């Protein structure tokens, strides 16, 4: 492993290690996809049920602090019980993809990715505070050198392997934006280590964002598009509360069909205010309202609405129930109706698709993303 380098994330000093700049792996004559053994090596990497060696390591806190927290959670009974309940609730309600059934599905899907295509793939492992995150890179030969990247954070029950395996929403967005993508499994999902934990999910997002931003040991992206769907929008919001964006990079963050906060979502889905209230003390009341209001970068919030095709929304009158999120529980409605929410750097898009439907045509979204990137 290469030498450590100190960088700053969210005003906290963290240590980062990497064997080489990822730019050397992505572009030039020695790029990974130009090697004669690219398909053989990639097949072997995708077939491994265990994680690959870490390509990028960061620590948001001193290792001794992490160790002390782990010890305290064991010897102090209430802390251990709280962590157990938090993890159990996360596994059952928010990350069912952490089950062994999904682990097996991830292995199968990863091995069936079509490698002989215009899309090029690389599996990588990133590490943060002891969590090892399984991730996949996707792009094309003519885009890997353009420094434009999409960081996708997935919804409930999704695994990154399917995003690479199938021609779905992610690939459509990458094609329309002419960007490359990185997508990952949350802690406890697939081969990613750990257990369902809200703080760990935030850390996973932050380490990948730092990996994209790092022009010495990471990818060194100049344009970053964060695309969070449903739960992934909440994870993105959590991460952006504390992550300090890097100067010299243009950002656009997209939240698609995302809730205002988890308590409201659970209340409406379960028809129970008690369950919605209980989400708060066990630490799962994830939400993006305050994060979005304070966000300095451009942001697009998309929500199902009474529209025939995609259109910009100036108020919340057209927003409707999307099959999962009621209009009153949507992030879009909450922000549009908040007089204290700055709108200068925000766009709101009404879309006809329901919650579990893929974007039928991402052209409108791609156009607005490019407009915001050029405006930044």
327 secondary structure, DSSP code: G
At 80 the pLDDT is: 74
Q: What is the pLDDT of residues 251-265, one digit of tens each?
A: 999 999 999 999 988
Classify each residue of 92-111 as buried b or exposed e, where b means 16 or more C-beta atoms within 10 Å of its C-beta. ebbbebbeeebbebbbebbe
**Domain residue limits at 234:** 4-375
Q: What is the pLDDT of residues 107-127, one digit of tens each?
A: 999 999 999 999 999 999 999
What is the tally of structural domains in the chain? 1
- Please report, for the domain that includes residue 361, its CATH number: 3.40.50.1820
The low-confidence residues of the chain, meaning pLDDT below 70, are: 1-20, 61-62, 64-74, 77
At 3 the pLDDT is: 33
């Amino acid at each position: 492993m290469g030498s450590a380098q100190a960088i700053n994330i969210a005003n906290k000093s963290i240590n980062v290690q990497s064997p080489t700049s990822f730019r050397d792996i992505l572009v030039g004559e020695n790029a990974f996809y130009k090697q004669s053994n690219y398909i053989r090596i990639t097949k072997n990497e995708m077939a491994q049920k265990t994680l690959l060696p870490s390509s990028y390591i960061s620590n948001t806190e001193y290792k001794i602090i992490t160790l002390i927290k782990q010890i305290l959670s064991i010897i102090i009974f209430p802390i251990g019980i709280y962590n157990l309940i938090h993890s159990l609730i996360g596994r059952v309600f928010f990350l069912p993809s952490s089950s062994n059934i999904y682990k097996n599905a991830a292995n199968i899907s990863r091995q069936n990715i079509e490698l002989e295509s215009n899309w090029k793939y690389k599996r990588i492992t990133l590490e943060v505070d002891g969590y090892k995150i399984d991730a996949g890179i996707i792009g094309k030969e003519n885009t890997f050198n353009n420094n434009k990247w999409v960081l996708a954070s997935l919804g409930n029950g999704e695994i990154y392997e399917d995003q690479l395996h199938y021609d779905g929403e992610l690939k459509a967005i990458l094609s329309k934006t002419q960007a490359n993508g990185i997508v990952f499994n949350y802690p406890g999902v697939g081969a990613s280590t750990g257990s369902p934990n809200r703080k760990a999910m935030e850390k996973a997002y932050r380490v990948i964002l730092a990996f994209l931003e790092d022009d010495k040991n990471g990818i060194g992206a100049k344009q970053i598009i964060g695309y969070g769907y449903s739960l992934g929008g909440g994870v993105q919001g959590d991460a952006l509360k504390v992550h300090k964006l890097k100067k010299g990079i243009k950002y656009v963050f997209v939240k698609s069909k995302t809730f205002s906060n988890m308590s409201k979502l659970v209340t409406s889905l379960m028809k129970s205010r008690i369950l919605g209230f209980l989400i708060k003390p066990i630490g799962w009341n994830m939400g993006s309202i305050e994060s979005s209001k304070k966000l300095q970068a451009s942001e697009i919030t998309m929500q199902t609405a009474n529209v025939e095709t995609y259109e910009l929304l100036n108020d919340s009158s057209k927003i409707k129930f999307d099959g999962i999120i009621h209009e009153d529980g949507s992030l879009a409605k909450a922000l549009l109706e908040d007089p204290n929410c700055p709108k200068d750097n925000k766009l709101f898009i009404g879309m006809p698709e329901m919650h579990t439907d893929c974007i039928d045509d991402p052209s409108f979204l791609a156009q607005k993303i490019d407009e915001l990137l050029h405006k930044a």
